[in-house]
Amino acid sequence: MPWKALDLMSIREEFVILASRTDANRRELCRRFGISPQTGYKWLSRYAQQGKPGLTDLSRRPLNSPARTDAPLEQAVVDVRQAHPAWGGRKISRRLSDLGNATLAPSTVNSILNRHGLIEQQARERSAPWTRFERDAPNALWQVDFKGYFPLAQRRCSPLTLLDDHSRFNLGLELCSEITTPTVQEKICRVFARYGLPLQMNFDNGTPWGSPKQPGQLTELGVWLVRLGIRVTHSRPYHPQTNGKDERFHRTLKAEVLSAGGYDSFEALQLKLDRWRDVYNQQRPHEALQMATPITRYQPSPRSLPPTLPPIEYGSNDEVCRVGWAGELRFRGQRYRLSTALMHYDVAVRPDPQTDGVFEVFFAHHRCLSIDLRAPAQS
């Protein structure tokens, strides 16, 4: 039977007392105490030389550690960890290499962090794996979302985040005290002016880019993006993993900035976010990028933000209809609800080449609705 750690010393003492008797069958005692003869004779020898203190476990640390990391490099590991408490062994190893230090294995970095008490028990629980899919090139897809409201001394605020799907490059990290269309449009405009236009942007169904009651319906912000030639898509309701990379970015943002606190004003927090954004894009190795930094995989879009919105054009074979009051479309004597954001805009109605009686409604390149004249209209 294995010895219990709780009363290990008393069991060892009992063993050596019994085994020290002149008539003791030491091998049989070893069997009954569940130890090997070599272990039994080791305890007998140490007890004879040192008494009871000889029964304690000795440190297994070698007197000399020729392979141990040099003190300056070990201190560099500690410094990076203290500057970025949420970084693990792989990120710290890559960052030290990028700074010109000797390459350390991530396991060595973790050993150093353990020695200095810099790894929490819950660290592994927080690093849940994420299934990764990505676009083939930068600007093919941007993921956009808010990192929830949280209070400051003066007012509530919520960071607006834009993330490139391919490179994980953070295109924008801007605090918003309100989430109205003008506020968000102004901040996205600044991102477009610097990085150009993406092919596609994905949002959830919340305000101001979505309609919780009508998932996928265009809002005023969506109409503006479509007119810029951007494909607008929305996540499935209650499926935040559709914007998984931005959700993961939010976890990192919370772990490395927001959880630490230390900000008492809107301006102070925005300054902290600006500084951290540079670290995230330019210094922080990203595991999904084989420990490269996001900026090494990102390049601005060749599609520039135009000074004015281009006109909406439809094909000569399209049946063009004007969207009326409250976003209502009248077609072939029936009424269909599109979106109030499309009120007074022209849309194109095109027959489905595969099915008679079925039509597709488009605003510019954006498909808004499928009309089936074989079924009753739903208003």
Domain that holds residue 268: 142-297
Question: Do both 260 and 180 map to the same domain?
Answer: yes
Q: Are residues 167 and 229 in the same domain?
A: yes
Is 76 part of any domain? yes
Are residues 271 and 146 part of one domain?
yes
> Does residue 305 fall inside a structural domain?
no
pLDDT (average), residues 98-118:
79
Span 24-74, pLDDT tens digits: 888 887 887 788 889 889 989 988 888 878 888 776 655 555 555 688 888
Identify whether residues 249 and 148 lie together within a single domain.
yes
Give domain status of residue 136, yes or no: no
State whether 281 and 327 are in the same domain.
Answer: no
The reply to whether 95 and 185 lie within a common domain is no
pLDDT tens for residues 122-163?
444 344 444 456 678 999 999 999 887 777 766 778 899 999
Q: Are residues 288 and 257 in the same domain?
A: yes
Cα dihedral across residues 225, 229, 230, 234: positive or negative:
positive
262 and 331 share one domain: no
Residue 349's nearest CA partner among 334, 371, 333 is 371
Residue 118 belongs to a domain: yes
Sequence-separated (6 or more) residues with CB below 8 Å from residue 198: 139, 140, 141, 142, 164, 230, 301, 303
State the chain's mean pLDDT as an integer. Answer: 83
**Overall pTM surpassing 0.75 (yes/no):** no
Task: Estimate the share of the chain in helix, then strand, then coil, as percent rounded to the nearest 5.
Answer: 40, 15, 45
Strand partners, 160: 146, 174
Predicted pLDDT at 309: 94
| Residue-level pLDDT at 5 | 44
**Are residues 122 and 183 both part of a single domain?**
no
Q: In terms of domains, do 228 and 281 share one?
A: yes
pLDDT tens, position by position, 313-344: 999 999 999 999 999 999 998 999 999 999 99
Q: What domain count does the chain have? A: 4
**105 Cβ contact partners less than 8 Å away, ≥ 6 residues apart:** 93
Length of the chain equals 379
End-to-end CA separation in angstroms for the chain:
77
Range scoring the smallest mean pLDDT among 35-44, 103-112, 226-235? 103-112
Which residue, of 234, 263, 297, is where some domain finishes?
297
Q: Are residues 119 and 150 located together in one domain of the fold?
A: no
DSSP string, 270-318: HHHHHHHHHHHHHTS-BGGGTTB-GGGG----SSPPPSSPPPP---TTS
